Amino acid sequence: MKLARNILLVDDEPSWLRSLAITLNRLVPEAQIDTCIDSRQVDNRLALNDYALVLLDLTMPFHSGENLLEMIRSKSPKTRVIIVTGVNEVDTAVRCIKHGAYDYFIKTDNVDNLARTVRRALEVVGLERNYLMIKERFLSRTLAHPQAFNNILTCEPALLDQFSYLEAVAMSPEPILICGESGTGKDEFAKSCHQLTCPDEPFINIKLAGVNYDAFELQLFGKITSHADGQVSAQAGALHHVHTGLLYLNEIGDLPLEAQAKLVDVIEHKQYYPVGSDRPYPVNCKIIASTQHDLLTLNREGKFRSDLLYRLTSHKIKLPPLRERKLDLSMLINHFINLAANKMGLEAPQQPRNLASQLADYEFPGNLHELKGMVFDGVSRSDGIQLNITPFMEAMNERNNGVIKPKDSISYPKELPTLAEMSQALIDEAMSRTANNQTAAARMLGISQSALSRRMKTDK
């Protein structure tokens, strides 16, 4: 989102007006400055331009600054006013602040202080306008870009609300955090945000589970190496490749603490240093993060930095688990049937009429990953006419029988396998049951995704 940057300087002294404009142009180069010498023109100028800030003299012919202050605050409440005057009276200053002035300066005050206040006021106006825009868009409840959500099927009000919210905050300069259990559609929401913000720019998905600090630094920032012969070689990181696109930081809760500190720097200062370089490079991309963990709990346990937590939670999207979206079941099953049949080159089988109601009490611990896996399995076993429901029945039976007792259900060969072989077999089984989804497989095995990823790497 573009920050409001235009400022109107109002004063009847031409020489002061000129010198103030020159000073502010130098000290606040991001601002766009207009001047107005005739107090009767202020109303008109505000009607023609959406000023973020007005710097107002108090004693002028025709209209006094105090009258103009009241007029501006009532007609243009989104515009802030700073009084800049030769009148050094406490009573007047107090009255102006009471009537809504952002600050009060005497003309003899240090201009650096004035410039600092102007910059801060521009930031405040930017934040206020951003907040108002989000509120207005969210309350309107209509989607301006419904096609951005084409991949997310739902008729659940809770999820439809999240569409409106994402659309409202998508253009905000702050990062967005998507929370939800594994398989609730976090990746799909990140892709929708990309469609909403910068569809023609790159979308880069960085999986942070199991990534250590060095790998994170290299992957995100890249590396610049100066060789002995004076040559310099560079390895570009994701922040370079993504340019003005969208950077999706997947499973941010798994990021090591040191790497979290680096990320705070990126978000806060909008710049980064490649490994081996002391030259900063600008960050121009949109940042989205996702987590299936509760970051507040991780923070209380000392595993997640507070500064990163607060920066990430300005815009938070919470995705409900599939067990709370039963209205969607039948539609999702049909969607996955068509997807599976298409992929397998088969005729799409029919969904049995009462399947969704039979699944009403099933919890779907693996959410949409699990449902998708079941439907794909059911399609591959189907007779081409009706979806085979064995995978669904098996899952429900396992639940109904409570936790499976390994002793009862595992039969061991005469010669016992080693622990390593057994662990590998379990990992293979979990990966196959979850259609190779590491997050869901880790959940099934009762370990973290990073632990599973490490085991898979060491087992290779």
Ligand X SMILES: Nc1ncnc2c1ncn2[C@@H]1O[C@H](COP(=O)(O)OP(=O)(O)OP(=O)(O)O)[C@@H](O)[C@H]1O
Q: Does 223 bind ligand X (CB under 6 A)?
A: no
Could you tell me if 367 and 184 are in contact, meaning their C-beta atoms sit under 8 angstroms apart?
yes
Out of 39, 292, 434, 453, point to the residue binding ligand X (CB under 6 A): 292
- Name the residue with tokens 């200053």: 93
Closest to ligand X by CB, 118 vs 368, is 368
Q: How far is Cα 182 from Cα 372, in angstroms, rounded to an integer? A: 13
Crossing angle of the two packed helices 449-459 and 419-433, in degrees rounded to 10: 120
Out of 259, 368, 375, 445, point to the residue binding ligand X (CB under 6 A): 368
The closest residue (CB) to ligand X is: 185
Contact stretch for ligand X (CB under 6 A) within 15-23, 146-154, 342-350, 384-392? 146-154
Neighbours of 101 (CB within 10 A): 21
Q: Does 153 bind ligand X (CB under 6 A)?
A: yes
Could you tell me if 210 and 454 are in contact, meaning their C-beta atoms sit under 8 angstroms apart?
yes
| Site residues (CB under 6 A) for ligand X, limited to 162-201 | 180, 182-188
Closest to ligand X by CB, 182 vs 453, is 182
Buried (b) or exposed (e) across 367-381, using 16+ Cβ within 10 A?
A: bbbbbbbbbbbbbee
Instruction: In angstroms, give the least distance from the CB of 381 to ligand X.
Output: 20
Q: Select from 170, 172, 145, 254 the least CA-distant residue to 208.
A: 254
Q: Does 305 bind ligand X (CB under 6 A)?
A: no
Compute the C-alpha angle 333/179/159, nearest 5°.
45
Closest to ligand X by CB, 290 vs 382, is 290
| Site residues (CB under 6 A) for ligand X, limited to 237-256 | none
Contact stretch for ligand X (CB under 6 A) within 20-28, 152-160, 308-316, 421-429? 152-160
Q: Does 369 bind ligand X (CB under 6 A)?
A: yes
Closest to ligand X by CB, 303 vs 335, is 335
Instruction: In angstroms, give the least distance from the CB of 334 to ligand X.
Output: 10
Instruction: For residue 271, give the 3-state DSSP assignment.
Output: strand
Residues 6+ apart with CB under 8 A from 203: 190, 191, 194, 245, 246, 248
Q: Does 391 bind ligand X (CB under 6 A)?
A: no
Q: Does 437 bind ligand X (CB under 6 A)?
A: yes
Given the DSSP bridges, would you call strands 271-272 and 281-282 parallel, antiparallel or unpaired? antiparallel
Instruction: In angstroms, give the least distance from the CB of 124 to ligand X.
Output: 36
Could you tell me if 72 and 39 are in contact, meaning their C-beta atoms sit under 8 angstroms apart?
no
Instruction: In angstroms, give the least distance from the CB of 105 to ligand X.
Output: 51
Interface ranges with ligand X (CB under 6 A): 152-154, 180, 182-188, 292, 332, 335, 368-369, 372, 437, 439
